[in-house]
Structure 1
Amino acid sequence: MAPCGFLCGSESMKFWRAGAFGALVLAGCASQQTLVPQIQQGESEGKKTVTVAPASAACSRPQCPVLAAAWSAAKPAQAVLTVGLPHQAAEVTGADFHLGGGQAVRVRSRSRAEAAALGYPATAFDVPLRLVDQIAYTPRSWVRVHTADGRSVDETLNSGEERSKAVEAMSYFVTAVESASGQVANPDSSRGGLMDRLGGGK
């Protein structure tokens, strides 16, 4: 009888299935890790900083808005929110965040901080940290991104049934900022106290 190698028949199939399952688990972990903000000490003044990589709204078309965020203990009530728009050439000039029933927040204040080099137009804006908290936790929300050529792109952030990757990323970001600062990002939020949000409440 010819040798069958490392494993034969059903044993080989079991080994293959186990390997495939392990690869899927690792892929899921890797995907989740891309949303976890990195907390690090600032290089110049020793101030803590939190950043989160760009993540997309809930859409499938190429021109899908992306959001990224950064925070520094030097300005604890402020965040730098980067808004990007792939597959187009015009500069991003602003964004309108529609949160819940009727609240709309216009974002136009450009930050002195440079937007990350994403390979497509992206602009960094100074925003209150509480706005990032609202983006992360408002049950129904969408964004309108404005560009220098007079156009705009509307996309869903949170439909109430589906949370976009951008919303998930902002929720990780807010939790990391609250952990780093020891303060709540949005005192007006109904999400409970800091310990509840960080998993320490009863």
Structure 2
Amino acid sequence: MDKLHLRRELLAARDSLTPEQLRSNAARIRETLLDQPWVQMAGLVACYWSVGSEPDTHGLVFALWKHGTTVMLPVLREDDDLDWAVYDGPDTLAPGRFGLMEPVDTRRGVDAIRTAALVITPALAVDRRTGVRLGRGGGSFDRALARVGPNVPVVAPLHDGELRDDVPAEPHDRPVGFAITPSGLIKLS
């Protein structure tokens, strides 16, 4: 299956989830991640502010911040690369390009992700064999993930059924080391 058709299939499945399923999925993903010692010990986390039927990260970002973790969120630049700024509570977000919520803090630059001890990245699906993630097609997170150090855990939150064997890959696609679903945390290749 090509990326375009797979994206359509996955987005349709996500859109069929009920609000209750979305809330339950978010809570299970959040609690499983927060139980991991390597998540608890990460002083600086690069994450994203979820939209629509993505696995919700709002509670996770808030919990990490309340725990004392510095959380950076992306700021979409005009060239579609990602700058980063620090989240300092729910009142420090404002709509950015395309209405995406972004922190209003000082921009730290595209290379700020290099300093993160943990990266949580969006994905529509992840290939269980290779760890390759399927994004929405803009390439913004692939560019950002190319800057992440080799020993930094990169985690993609997914709904059940989005860890697959058929994710098409291109040379620019970046793999992740972990997928987290409501059913649990999966270490990939």
Fold-level similarity (TM above 0.5): no
| Larger RCO (alpha carbons 8 Å, 6+ apart) | 2
Higher strand share: 1
